[in-house]
Structure 1
Amino acid sequence: MTVRADVTPDNPSRAEIDFSRIANLLDDNWLVWMNRSWYFDNDTTGSVLREVDAVLYHRKYGLLLVECKAGKISARTQNQTGNVVWMQSGKSMAKPPHMQVASLIAPLHEYMKLLLKAPQNKEFYRVRVQWAVCFSDMENMEGIPLSEIPRKRALLKPDMQDVNKFEERLIEILQTPEESHGGRPYPNDYLDEDAFFALRNFFDGIGDMQTAADALREDSYYSEQATEMQQMMMDSISRNNRVRIEGVAGSGKSRMVVWEALRLSKIGKSVAIACYNDLLAEELREEVESALAKERKIVTAKYGRDGGVGFGKIEVNVYADWCKKYAKAVKELPKMGADKSQYYDKELPKAFTNAQTKLFKDKKQREKMFFDAVIIDEAQDFASEWIDSLIGLLRDKERGYARIFYDPAQRLYAKRNGIENAQVKAMPVMVLKRAFRNTKKILEWIYKNTNIRLQSYNNTPQGYPVKEYRYRDSSEQEQLLLNSYNELVRKYELKPSEILVVSMHSEARSGIKNISNDTFAWNKVGGKKLIQDKVNIVSAYRIKGLDTMAVILVDVEEPTETSKREDWKRLLLVGATRAKKLLTVIRKKA
């Protein structure tokens, strides 16, 4: 049985019934589906809902889409307008028979790229797609201009009397030379079993109506682009004991931090990772632990119970916790006074440096408390002396490994000059100029509003337009936030953990600080983790280095003072680039 989805007994189209009858006689090299519908939503063709009367697929020759028409079909050009009018058995037709089926070529070709995981340079995404119109009651093309439907794309009544003749005509149509392809037929691969089953399942109806939620979660571009680029960079980084990596927002610096820590651990090196905000530290810690657990499982399975290899320890902390750990080790942790800023910016770092000096003199403490490698993420948040104190954690002051990741455009603490540190500036630099996290629509919005241009890749998805709403007061902003959240849930079926509300202010200064809706929760400083069953509200200062599917950016109020505008734009950049695919901006009316 070659027809996998046949016409129903009550099908009103005699042409479809006739087509199905002859298609049932084809051998099992052909797969045939009748009356298929698809929803496509991709960057090239946009959102389209299409149906087709018949689909035929042969692994050697490709995929054919067929529109079936019964009765006498004709077309004539109107003298007054020059428009072509189509008639079916004396009645005008709403749409030319070839228009709908031909318009399916582009979205199907695009869909094949994702469905069959074609290489980026693969033309037409592995499967040739062609179209034809079946005139089941017509003996010839009389009355139909060849400029509208060429004979080579028409299946007529004589073509459907014999299955061998029918098959010959199908192959002829599939092998039609295309001007757009240099006068040659579109290419077609003989699909391997995995790809063949994926294609067959798609036409069988497994996932053939892709929802907006499904489309949103298509993340293959990001992972493939990131993996290829970053692995190449990591190969270069591994050749240098000291290196700094300057990367734009969304270039994958934090992912590379985890990869490099894992690489060093697997060769027995101990690694200290430092960042500034607690949420990022917890995220890095969880990713490191997960990656190490997988590696240990693989090695243990291969080499036996002892794992066959010694993994070096990896420890992740925010800078303040590194300071406290070492100050406590020598029992010299300073007490916090009224001036918290002085405590964290000066007193703790000084205690950290003093503790290192004492501990390093003791051989046992040196082995226990110091490391083979130091990795600093978001180094633009650090003061220069903090960088020195972290590099001071190296056992080998000359040959120890140091990796410094940073982005000058995300520098939010003007007085901190960590990236101007002498040791950092002496390191060779690698630059990540392109962002893969965000869609082109988000990057365009960022450039328009900050004048900071982040380069994307040629095949970065266009994505969805950024939505902007304006508020006059706090109550109106709260209502716009609720409306935006409800729309994201309704349209894209997002979970609370996939939506993040990012404020341009601290909680104390935010216009939504008193929000009473139980769906939302302010993530307090020191909370360590995002709350999984709530929509977290966080300051842009705390969320650096992290991202999520959808971001609602609130408290967007441009400062009137010229001196504050550049800092504000950098903060806006940080907040907006947390959104991987959907960005909503709620800004105050001027």
Structure 2
Amino acid sequence: MATLSPALFPPLRTDAGRYRELEVLERLRDYLPAGFEVFHNIALHTLRGGRDSYGEIDVIVLSPGGCLLLIEVKAGPVILRNGEVFKLYGDGECDVARQGRLQRTAMQNRLHEAGLDVPMLSCLVLPDYALGDSQVASIPRERIIDAPRYADMVSTVRDWMGAIQGTADGAALRRLLLNQFQVTPVLEVLRDQLQGAVRRLSDGLATWVPRIGSPSGVFRIQATAGSGKTQLALQLLETAAAERLNACYVCYNRSLADHVRHLASSKVDVVNFHELCVEHYRRTQGDPDFSPGAFERMTAHYVGASAGFAQSLDLLIIDEAQDFDASWVESLCSRLRPNGRLYVLEDEAQRLYRQDSFDLGDAVTIGCSDNFRSPQVICDLINALGLVRPPIRALNPYRGELPGIRTYLSDEEVLARTEEAVAALLARGFALADIAVVCGRGREKSALLNRACIGPHRTRRFTGEYDASGEPRWSEGELLVESVWRFKGQSAPAVVVTEMDFAELDDAARRRLFVALTRAQMAVELVLSDGAERCLTALLA
């Protein structure tokens, strides 16, 4: 199997020609042997007669011997006129041979400027057109792969390139084809571009789930981390607000509710479940005292009173449902109108609390294992460790780097190793505001969640206290430090996963590690106990 650069993603262009080009790429990738490299959509900018000229080469194949093959793909019908091949477009026609000559000359000039002496071939692929006995004056007939020869395209390419050897620097040639130059990346720009691309790519759930019908009006979306569940929820809430429907979004984590509330329309209700219980208690019983066990008492009061709730909701979204008790779900559903819709968003791999699963009767169940958030290498690591079943599909365009790993034997060492991990991310160019320290212990047992500083950096952390209105109190600092439980549902460009301590990768440890790793958009640093490091090393051996 050949390597393909860049990776294939759903096409922005949806015409038949673009899908045919993708098919050509997939054939070359899947059936050329290892050692071949396939590049596509190579942009060219040259100067001709003092004027800027822009173009694009559909496909370039690089053989193990260092030979290049330029492939022009023209899907659909073409026209033969006076021995020339023309492709018709909506705004005119293209002389295929002339286009090929310009591209070849431009590529030769680029190679010459880069000091690369590379043997180069070119061909035309017409996957939907049979030339028959027609004569083409401007392109050698043997270098045209038409419909009858299309099935043998891969073997033909191998025959052409097999015996040709080049002497150019392979790494420099690859950089040229990828438009990769030896410069230091500006992480701030890369971060913004990546976040924008990921948002667009992960719109899938938000696009097609609302189009699915359910006789019961109940939808169960079982989707992995980074698949776009939050975008789906926001799309449903936006549509409900536009249609003047009464809608409510309920999740488990207060921090996630605050995030969604910031993005959603003010015309819909966004709340976490315990916040909802507090509001109900305040309305019916007066101000709570928030003493130990207060949330449990207020939750029991809410569930007990739910049978008398008015059925006022047209739309109810329950997010992080894997962490909900069945009685909580039942109490929320009592607020739905008879024809109301219920969307339950969950991920079994992120079940961090010991709640039993619950049944939703005639729900339409939708599954998704596509991860758009995490870098490809992090997804590869998750799959190699078997953290989730089925394996997640890595669809983030960013390859990323393997996490740095640091081990500790004591609380003093975990602090020192975490400081080093933060320093390593800062040295790579991440800003302090881009970094989240995510701890695998809760606040009471953590050596980090109660610290005012990590290294020279003041920490921003939940203090464990609430004000008179029930709002959580936060410390003032620049470096976010959170537990894996509270940071679930959120993400950051760079994440230090720390205080991960386990002797075996049981279900609880597997879920903690999965949630922590999938919080990162670009980079991860791991701080593991000595036992956890040995456990993971044995699994990867």
1:131/1:584 CA distance change after superposition, 3 Å: same
Counterpart selection for 1:506 from 442, 451, 468: 442
* 1:490 Cα offset (Å): 2.6
Which residue matches 2:61? none
- Secondary structure in 2 matching 1:521: strand
For the 8 Å contact 1:435–1:457, the answer to whether it is kept is yes
Counterpart selection for 2:302 from 352, 360, 367: 352
For the 8 Å contact 1:381–1:412, the answer to whether it is kept is yes
Q: Larger strand proportion, structure 1 or 2?
A: 2
For 1:23-34, what aligned pairs fall within 5 Å after superposition? Answer: none
* 1:216 Cα offset (Å): 4.5
Which residue matches 2:536? none
State the one-letter code of the partner of 1:509.
Answer: K
State the one-letter code of the partner of 2:315.
Answer: A
Larger CA Rg, structure 1 vs 2 = 1
- When the two structures are aligned, how many residues end up with a matched partner? 398
For 1:10-409, what aligned pairs fall within 5 Å after superposition? Answer: 58-59=53-54, 131-132=107-108, 149=119, 209=183, 211-213=185-187, 214-219=189-194, 220-236=196-212, 241-289=217-265, 313-331=267-285, 338=292, 340=293, 343-345=294-296, 347-358=297-308, 360=310, 370-394=312-336, 396=337, 398-409=338-349
State the one-letter code of the partner of 2:441.
Answer: H
Which residue matches 2:409? 472
For the 8 Å contact 1:326–1:356, the answer to whether it is kept is no
- Secondary structure in 1 matching 2:107: strand
- Secondary structure in 1 matching 2:489: coil
Q: Tell me if 1:572 matches 2:513.
A: yes
Distance (whole Å) between structure 2 residues aligned to residue 532 and residue 466 of structure 1: 29
1:568/1:459 CA distance change after superposition, 3 Å: closer
- Secondary structure in 2 matching 1:505: coil
Distance (whole Å) between structure 2 residues aligned to residue 208 and residue 496 of structure 1: 26
Distance (whole Å) between structure 1 residues aligned to residue 46 and residue 396 of structure 2: 32
1:458/1:582 CA distance change after superposition, 3 Å: closer
Distance (whole Å) between structure 2 residues aligned to residue 254 and residue 318 of structure 1: 14
For the 8 Å contact 1:558–1:568, the answer to whether it is kept is yes
Q: Tell me if 1:519 matches 2:457.
A: yes
1:263/1:344 CA distance change after superposition, 3 Å: same
* 1:579 Cα offset (Å): 0.8
Distance (whole Å) between structure 1 residues aligned to residue 371 and residue 192 of structure 2: 19
- Secondary structure in 1 matching 2:515: helix
Distance (whole Å) between structure 1 residues aligned to residue 221 and residue 110 of structure 2: 60
Distance (whole Å) between structure 2 residues aligned to residue 255 and residue 373 of structure 1: 16
1:519/1:55 CA distance change after superposition, 3 Å: farther
Distance (whole Å) between structure 1 residues aligned to residue 240 and residue 315 of structure 2: 8
Distance (whole Å) between structure 2 residues aligned to residue 150 and residue 441 of structure 1: 33
Give the share of equivalent positions with the same residue, in percent. 17
Which residue matches 1:538? 482
For the 8 Å contact 2:309–2:334, the answer to whether it is kept is no
Distance (whole Å) between structure 1 residues aligned to residue 345 and residue 121 of structure 2: 63
Which residue matches 1:82? none
Post-superposition Cα deviations, 1:231-290, rounded to whole Å, max 9, x if no partner, equal: 12232268862211111122121221111111111111111111111111100110114x
For the 8 Å contact 2:46–2:54, the answer to whether it is kept is no
For the 8 Å contact 1:450–1:572, the answer to whether it is kept is no
Counterpart selection for 1:412 from 318, 330, 352: 352
Distance (whole Å) between structure 2 residues aligned to residue 447 and residue 456 of structure 1: 9
TM-score (norm 1): 0.57
1:378/1:529 CA distance change after superposition, 3 Å: farther
- Secondary structure in 1 matching 2:198: helix
Counterpart selection for 1:447 from 383, 396, 404: 383
1:262/1:576 CA distance change after superposition, 3 Å: same
1:181/1:485 CA distance change after superposition, 3 Å: farther
* 1:581 Cα offset (Å): 1.7
Distance (whole Å) between structure 2 residues aligned to residue 315 and residue 135 of structure 1: 59
Distance (whole Å) between structure 2 residues aligned to residue 566 and residue 135 of structure 1: 54
* 1:210 Cα offset (Å): 6.2
State the one-letter code of the partner of 1:497.
Answer: A
Distance (whole Å) between structure 2 residues aligned to residue 280 and residue 221 of structure 1: 22
Which residue matches 2:419? 482
1:517/1:221 CA distance change after superposition, 3 Å: same
Post-superposition Cα deviations, 1:198-254, rounded to whole Å, max 9, x if no partner, equal: xxxxxxx9x995615144443154123212453122322688622111111221212
For the 8 Å contact 2:218–2:341, the answer to whether it is kept is yes
For the 8 Å contact 1:445–1:466, the answer to whether it is kept is no
Post-superposition Cα deviations, 1:320-346, rounded to whole Å, max 9, x if no partner, equal: 1211222222236776665x1xx434x
* 1:182 Cα offset (Å): 6.9
Segments of 5+ residues of structure 1 without an aligned counterpart are 1-43, 46-51, 64-97, 107-125, 137-145, 153-170, 184-204, 293-312, 361-365
Distance (whole Å) between structure 2 residues aligned to residue 381 and residue 239 of structure 1: 26
1:378/1:133 CA distance change after superposition, 3 Å: closer
Distance (whole Å) between structure 1 residues aligned to residue 456 and residue 366 of structure 2: 45
Segments of 5+ residues of structure 2 without an aligned counterpart are 1-35, 38-43, 59-64, 72-99, 123-137, 146-152, 158-178, 532-541
State the one-letter code of the partner of 2:222.
Answer: E
TM-score (norm 2): 0.62
RMSD, aligned CA: 4.5
Q: Tell me if 1:435 matches 2:371.
A: yes
Distance (whole Å) between structure 1 residues aligned to residue 478 and residue 69 of structure 2: 41
Distance (whole Å) between structure 2 residues aligned to residue 181 and residue 223 of structure 1: 39
